[in-house]
A = this chain, B = another copy of it.
Amino acid sequence: SANHIKLPNTATEAEVLKCIASLNGDPAVHGFIVQLPLDTDKPINTEKITNAVAPEKDVDGLSSINAGKLSRGDLGDCFIPCTPKGCMELIRQTGKEVGKADILVVAAGKAEMVKGEWIKPGAIVIDCGINHVPGAWVMYKDDIEISQSCIPKPIDQVAREVGLLPDEVELYGQTKAKVHLSALKRLKNQPDGKYIVVTGITPTPLGEGKSTTTVGLVQALGAHLHQNVFACVRQPSQGPTFGIKGGAAGGGYCQITPMEEFNLHLTGDIHAITAANNLVAAAVDARIFHELTQTDQALYNRLVPSVSGVRKFSDIQIRRLQKLGINKTDPTALTKEEVNLFVRLDIDPGTITWQRVLDTNDRFLRKITIGQSPTEKGFSRMAQFDITVSSEIMAVLALSDGLDDMKKRLGRMVVASSKRGEPVTTDDLGVTGALAVLMRDAVKPNLMQTLEGTPVFVHAGPFANIAHGNSSVLADKIALKLVGKEGFVVTEAGFGADIGMEKFFNIKCRYSGLRPHVVVLVATVRALKMHGGGPAVTAGVPLPKEYMEENLQLLERGCSNLNKQIQNARMFGVPVVVAVNAFKTDTKAELALVVQLAKEAGAFDAVECTHWAEGGKGAVALAQAVQRASQAPSNFRFLYNVELPVIDKIRLIAQQIYGASDIELLPEAQEKVTLYTKQGFGNLPICMAKTHLSLSHDPEQKGAPTGFILPIRDIRASVGAGFLYPLVGTMSTMPGLPTRPCFYDIDLDPVSGEVNGLF
């Protein structure tokens, strides 16, 4: 790779010095290390070489301090500028003061002895390979290279540091662990920490750095300001990793690490959801099939079989009998009518809302016909596959506050209506217990860490366009206990503030009972210029010049969106800190203008951030603003009372948050309002399925549009998760693969086992 420069073993002092000079001049090089050739025939003045490194590229003064400490004996037959122990001690002392990940030279082949114990979290350790392969010059730039070059702390150490007990932690290798819910019980009398939600202005299709800001903020609070801190983020879908989008671990020097673990299977939670979701789907169609092909008595004999002469209802069947108002427990005591009611779910195939899922971008499964094998006797129907993260079970996972609560939600998921118009649930199918069993590991939050060694919970990732798009209640709750009263939990809400934040408040906080202290609103000059009328921003196409050059006029105009999103956050009574995520093309005047306008719009504070390039150091000012804001009075309130009629709740969101003048219900939506109200689901909170690219329903409407009528095409229900989701326009729930998917560049080194090409 172009980022790895190797000098031959025979390099002379002059060649080494020349190489240093060229690296000194390269702005892309954050820092670098010098592994001197072993060859003793060519004496090299190590002090001269280490002093040649430009001060800003020098790794925290290592070279100058250690140049005088050369020792051969400690290191076998390697010459390096200092002993590993000396380096480590120095890194430990100085490392805490620096913003970017440190870089540390290690004797060839000696990385093992220093891993973990000696080194500051987030430091980059370069093992120059096996013994006798000296002369390596290394620098790092790409996300996966930065991530892989950082040796994370052993995750059991992270767990100890945050105060978890050994039996509350299940290790999954060295870099991931699951945390038992028993921790929450143990800490129930501990006061909660400060609860910070990161959201953003209406973004461009490229994203404005919410994840990166979340990571940068916790790195700053934890590694730089020495606060107890936790980031809580969503687990990304694996499908897009191989499609267009790539990974989602943050970026630059603000990442969750190892990013390949984060972006791939992690600990299998999404796979568990796939399995659970599809068990329900298989049960729906199999049940319809068996009801269509059997008499009441045959069904009853099979559903309640005689085992060694004894017929017995299972627990879940007794629950169904109770739901039907049949208070009997003896299978022989049911009347014919009761048997009929019991055995026939009588699902109306036209009302099935439960879809199959896969965590793969497979566009050919968007609409399919199933049941065409002769074994299914002609009972085929249209169906579809969605991406797994859009499964209601993902939303259930994210909103559950314990095993018992999750099981209840899993059991009340509605899969269809019966021909009599009653909701048919997963519990009616007899599958609740099996779903809970499949999800029993997934319910435990996953502990990981940032590049700077601060703790992260990665847990749940509901689709932001048809679900609420926030990470799990359980992770937030455990983290709030672990950080303690003065600590901070930073959680990210998907999409812009009009969607992710609104749902965070009205759905997630409503179910969790947690109250946020600060909203961090991420803005970029790029997105604001787009809102001011700049040309379209498209993935894969070079940015137009408006975005590469100063343009204060476009920028000021676009701040209408920033202003509206600030008002949206303030509507909930929570102080807002605006994080201006600086790009290298932004000018000082541009950044200053955004800060000024944000403050004028009522933000508690507004701060420039450079964490992408600098790590936590670049977000220290943001962290300090968040600390101050968390002391300010917060007077949290919901936007609506759930007992309001469905239409009124939708209208409130449309008018207050989006700026619509009114809503318009299309006939299907109107029917669903009637149906769900009749079925008793009218008092659920509302989860709008709207584009994130505009405050309105039209992605082309930038800025802060007003006066529009928001059309509601249809309404669906996620009764187990606990919300109704009105569809504003068409939401794709199954991404596709482009002509050249990301997977062309993804590879595995068959010798080292390292993953290449993820980004």
Contacts and interface: CB of A to CB of B under 8 A. Distances in A.
A436 interface: yes
Nearest to A408: B750
Interface string A363-404: 111111111110110000011100000000000000000111
A286 B265 CA distance: 23
Contacts of A407: 748, 750
Contacts of A50: none
B362 A264 contact: no
A441 B361 CA distance: 22
A441 B265 contact: yes
B173 A173 contact: no
Given A370-B365, A370-B368, A265 B264 contact: no
A171 interface: yes
A292 to B, nearest CB: 12
A514 interface: no
Contact of A360 (B275, B373, B745): B275
A750 B372 CA distance: 39
A737 interface: yes
Q: Which secondary structure dominates chain A's binding surface?
A: mixed
A736 to B, nearest CB: 6
Interface stretch (A297-305, A475-483, A572-580): A297-305
Interface stretch (A67-75, A309-317, A716-724): A309-317
Interface residues of A, number: 95
A550 interface: no
A55 to B, nearest CB: 30
Contacts of A167: 112
A433 interface: yes
Contacts of A753: 403, 440
A278 interface: yes
Given A275-B238, A303-B740, A746-B434, A373 B366 contact: yes
B403 A433 contact: no
B360 A364 contact: no
A362 B278 contact: yes
A359 interface: yes
Contacts of A437: 260, 264, 746-748, 755, 758
Contact of A433 (B279, B286, B757): B757
Given A170-B174, A299-B739, A364-B285, A278 B403 contact: no
Interface stretch (A79-87, A266-274, A460-468, A551-559): A266-274
B431 A743 contact: yes
A289 interface: yes
Contact of A272 (B265, B383, B430, B436): B265
Contacts of A737: 282-283, 286
Given A299-B739, A438-B264, A750-B403, A285 B372 contact: no
Contacts of A756: 433
Contacts of A274: 271, 274, 358
A335 interface: no
Contacts of A383: 364
Contact of A363 (B174, B286, B299): B286
**Which of A281, A368, A372, A743 has the largest number of chain B CB atoms within 10 A?**
A743
B317 A748 contact: no
A745 B172 contact: no
A738 interface: yes
Contacts of A289: 363-364
B375 A366 contact: yes
A295 B556 CA distance: 44
A505 interface: no
Contacts of A751: 403-404
A430 B743 contact: yes
A40 interface: no
Given A373-B366, A403-B748, A750-B403, A271 B282 contact: no
Nearest to A308: B542
Nearest to A285: B364
A94 to B, nearest CB: 29
Contacts of A404: 750-751
A242 interface: yes
A178 interface: yes
A345 to B, nearest CB: 12
A743 B362 contact: no
Interface string A244-277: 0000000000000000100011011001101100
Contacts of A242: 279, 434
Contacts of A267: 268
Interface string A336-370: 00000000000000000000101111111111111
A173 B179 CA distance: 10
Interface string A533-567: 00000001000000000000000000000000000
A434 B743 contact: yes
Nearest to A429: B743
A436 B748 contact: yes
26 contacts: A171-B172, A278-B362, A282-B361, A285-B362, A290-B739, A302-B740, A303-B739, A305-B540, A314-B745, A316-B747, A363-B373, A366-B376, A367-B372, A367-B373, A368-B369, A369-B372, A430-B741, A430-B743, A431-B743, A432-B747, A433-B756, A434-B747, A436-B747, A437-B748, A437-B758, A440-B753
Sorted nearest first, the 5 A-B pairs with minimum C-beta distance are A433-B747, A271-B271, A434-B743, A366-B373, A404-B750
Interface of A: 112, 167, 170-174, 178, 238, 242, 260, 264-265, 267-268, 271-272, 274-275, 278-279, 281-283, 285-286, 289-290, 294, 299, 302-305, 314-317, 356, 358-373, 375-376, 382-384, 402-404, 407, 430-434, 436-438, 440-441, 540, 736-748, 750-751, 753, 755-758
Given A242-B279, A282-B361, 20 more contacts: A170-B174, A268-B268, A278-B358, A281-B360, A281-B362, A282-B363, A285-B363, A286-B364, A286-B738, A299-B739, A302-B740, A303-B740, A305-B540, A316-B744, A356-B365, A366-B375, A369-B372, A433-B746, A434-B747, A436-B748
